[in-house]
Amino acid sequence: MREPHMTENDAPSELTITPLFFPFFLSFSDHIAELSNAKPKQPFFFLKPPSSMLLPGEGPCVRPKGVDMHFEVELALVMGKMVRDLKPDDLEGALDAIKAYAVAIDMTARNTQNEAKRKGLPWDIAKGFDTFLPVSGVIPKDAVADPHDVELFLEVNGQVKQRGSTNLMIFRIPRILSDISRVMTLQPGDVVLTGTPAGVGPAVPGDKVRAGVRVAGRELLEGKIELVVEESTRDYEFAET
């Protein structure tokens, strides 16, 4: 969590600024190919609410009623410095601003998202349900020599569904952080998700999902995610309009 916002008289206000989560859309070349989409000319990002985060040991990932929930494993960057107007080719500056890494699963209500796209509506709801952002523990920065050369993977019920290297990213980390920081100032504690490899698919109640990251063929234990999927017992139910 970021530091509390300060008022004019330097007294802490009742408001605190929580981390922002910036996932990136269509960042991996193989994922773009599997969707038969055109290669984007610039990165496109959106926001996930902090309430969607599911930390290790906090319980199941919950699928709302009527939702076709899909998994997308991603490498997450945990920011350690304020970043504003970063140059897109400033690799040193980009890596210096990163405090640590993590693995995240950007859960998506695919049918909700598709309807919103068809109608030209925002699709925040498709990304923002509670528990729709499972994250691993913190991966120390020195455990990842090159974030553009790690392998992400995700398994469902023991079957590999996603497995791909970050060297397939069409937009490198400096460009990603540059595009965000020219629009919104990145703050310490913000988390940037860098896109997903091919193989995205559904997760249904009863599924056991395991995800993680390998560096030089070795899995990093800090980056492990293990969860089960359960059906929501809440009143909300998505229905196409």
Q: How far is Cα 42 from Cα 99, in angstroms, rounded to an integer?
A: 25
Q: Could you tell me how far CA 109 lies from the centroid of its own chain?
A: 14
Give the pLDDT of residue 12: 44
Considering only residues 36 and 175, tell me which one the structure prediction assigns the higher pLDDT. 175
* CA–CA separation, 142 and 170 (whole Å): 24
What proportions of the chain, in percent to the nearest 5, are helix, strand and coil? 20, 35, 45
pLDDT score recorded for residue 5: 35
Cβ burial 4-34 (10 Å sphere, 16+ → b, else e): eeeeeeeeeeeeeeebbbbbbbbbbbebbee
The mean-pLDDT minimum among 177-181, 223-227, 237-241 falls in 237-241
Percent of the chain with pLDDT over 70: 83
Query: What does the pLDDT read at residue 146?
Result: 96
Residue 7 has pLDDT above 50, yes or no: no
pLDDT, average across residues 43-56: 88
Q: Is the pLDDT of residue 61 over 60?
A: yes
The model's pLDDT over 204-230, given as tens digits with 9 standing for 90+, comes to 999 999 999 999 999 999 999 999 999
Closest to 102 in 3D by CA, of 32, 43, 55: 55
Query: Domains in the chain, ordered, with CATH?
Result: 4-231 (3.90.850.10)
Q: What digits encode the pLDDT tens for the residues 101-111? A: 999 999 999 99
